[in-house]
Amino acid sequence: MSEGAIALVDYGAGNLRSVENALRAVGARVEVTHDPDTVRRARRIVVPGQGSMPACAEAMRKSGAAEALVEALGRGATVLGICVGLQILFEDGDEGGGARGLGLIPGRVTKLPPGVKLPHIGWSPVRAAGSPHPLFAPLDGQYVYFAHSYAAPADAPGVELVAIHGRPYCAALASGSIFAVQFHPEKSQRVGLALLDRFVKL
């Protein structure tokens, strides 16, 4: 892996290329990889996600990316999870009759409540929870693009940004060198690209 490149984990997630293109648009060097050893050695890792939490978590385990991600974090790597890439960080979730996450963040991912349109697709504002990390602080009050039916709780450990769709939920979190967003920065135009630019420069 070339020095300074971001490892973009390829475990079958549907939005891989759009994330790759967005990262390249902000000047990042990107290595798309399904090789666990490459993930294990990387200093910066992006875990995209589109689809269901059970399928993505299982795919990460089968590919060896899950174990490699945990080892990379132990060596001080910085990680950004996107959409389902946020959800799989948690212990478990309700989707598909029950899903086991990677257990890096305590808590459970649950379905958004009845009475609102699901999946939640489109632009919604996010609000800061307390004094957010510099990565997320500029997003307070901004609109970003979501596509999901499940979400982590608004009081999840490390919650940085909160959004509302039927109930408040975690829109972004930070825990040590783990960062994750429920929305899609690669689809959030200028605001999303600015977030990716800040991540690349962390």
Residues assigned a catalytic role = 83, 184, 186
Three-state secondary-structure class, residue 111: strand
Taking the C-alpha atoms of 179, 180, 186 and 190 in order, what is their torsion angle to the nearest 10 degrees? -60
Place of tokens 């999946």: 119
> Residue 130, by phi and psi: left (phi above 0), alpha (psi -120 to 50) or beta?
left
φ and ψ at residue 100, rounded to 5 degrees: -95, 120
Cβ-proximal residues to 173 (8 Å cutoff; 6+ apart), any chain: 86, 89, 105, 152, 156, 157, 158, 159, 160, 179, 180
Place of tokens 């050695």: 41
